Amino acid sequence: MSTTTPRWGRKGTVIMGTVLLAALAFGTTTRTWLNVTLPATDVVTPDVAVSGSDAATAVTAFAVVGVAAALAAGIAGRIARWVIAVIIAVSGIGVAVASYRIITDPLQGAAGAIGKAIGVSSAEGTVAELTVMPYAALAIGILIALAGVWLALAGRYWTTSRRYAPTAEPAAGATAADSAEGTAAPGPDVRSRKDAASGPPVDEIDSWDRLTRGEDPTDPK
């Protein structure tokens, strides 16, 4: 991380803050969003509690996207961070819009639970009361959208670490010596060492005999 990065723009702060907001949005869906009172003449148990995951499934999906995008921002490059910032902003808007729809029309969010209870999605006399959770999800969704803007602004100060494998460079003296040795004709001593290393010629019979003794026939010894 660059030493000139302001405190508000630190990578860990931005990522963890965004992840926390998205996790809170997801957490609201595990709580009761609607308390539905059905007509007592239609069911034995007229009271039904509807969780956020049932009332607004989109909130759960957008919250998961927000968490994944925030975590991906930690290893993304400059251009990818801009794309991720847009994704986070869109996920926040999605959470807010889905929550607002439940707030403005509670019976719409309770339709699934009502259908399971009485067989139809609506009934005259049904009352759906909101809890505080849809309002909390709406506020958190707005904050997640702002976190996308926060990431876009803070990401300008982040540096992408790149590691390269070090390559060994031959010394100048060794290079010059290798070049000189490669261009010069081998001397008699060099030729004699090569001839000695190659050893005497080995015919097929000798090779077979050495192979049966468990020796390597290609070994010049």
Output the pLDDT for position 97.
Answer: 96
Output the pLDDT for position 26.
Answer: 96
Instruction: Please state which CATH number belongs to domain 7-157.
Output: 1.20.140
Domain residue extents for the chain: 7-157, 187-221
User: What average pLDDT does this structure show over 171-195?
Assistant: 50
Banded pLDDT at 112 (limits 50, 70, 90): confident
pLDDT tens digits, residue range 2-52? 457 778 878 889 999 999 999 999 999 999 999 988 776 655 666 888 899
Q: Which residue has the higher pLDDT, 135 or 188?
A: 135
Q: What is the DSSP string of the chain?
A: --TT--GGG-HHHHHHHHHHHHHHHHHHTTSEEEEEE--TTT-S--EEEEEHHHH-HHHHHHHHHHHHHHHHTTT--HHHHHHHHHHHHHHHHHHHHHHHHHHH-HHHHTHHHHHHHHSSS--TT-EEEE-SHHHHHHHHHHHHHHHHHHHHHHGGG--------------HHHHHHHHHHHHSPP-HHHHHHHHHHH-S---HHHHHHHHHTT--TT---
pLDDT over 70 for what percent of the chain? 64
